[in-house]
Amino acid sequence: MEQRISLVTLGVADLPRSRAFYEQLGWRGQEVEETVFFQAGGLALVLWGRAKLAADAGVDDAGGDGFGGMTLAQNVRSRGEVDELMATAAAAGAAVTQPARETFYGGYAGCFADPDGHVWEIAWNPGFPLGPDGALTLPDFGATG
């Protein structure tokens, strides 16, 4: 299996509401067959009805609307960008779950939840270089294994 992700799909309760939320953050997507696709670097972020997503995956959905055990992050280039983006998200109706703060790894980050509770962290991490297009390259941690 190659080390790459092609799609990240967020199950949503109300597609127009979720699309409007991401558009307020500045994202622009395409809607087709009750699915919204956003190009995000070399992959796509997809919004799709949660029940359809569960059925398509062949899994039961207990209907939890809390923490799903998987989070997304966008790393930015400065502390100021973290503050700006957290403010944009709050203005768009996000729940700020973790106000921006200094992190244990010497960075600065905050978290918000989208209308369905999907968590995004917005982080400035000086140890994780970003390319001109925003692509992230992990450093060599010097780990043995």
Is 8 an interacting residue with respect to a copy of itself (CB under 8 A)? yes
Q: Which helix (H) or strand (E) holds 53?
A: helix 50-57
Least Å from the CB of residue 75 to a copy of itself: 4
Kindly state the tokens that stand for 96: 């700020």
Phi, psi of 144 (to 5 degrees): -80, -30
Binder among 18, 21, 82, 85 for a copy of itself (CB under 8 A): 85
Binder among 30, 80, 102, 129 for a copy of itself (CB under 8 A): 30
CA distance 135 to 42: 9
For the segment 43-72, give every residue that binds a copy of itself (CB under 8 A).
43-45, 50, 53-54, 56-62, 64, 66-72
Answer for the pair 76, 123: CB distance below 8 angstroms, yes or no: yes
Binder among 14, 83, 90, 97 for a copy of itself (CB under 8 A): 97
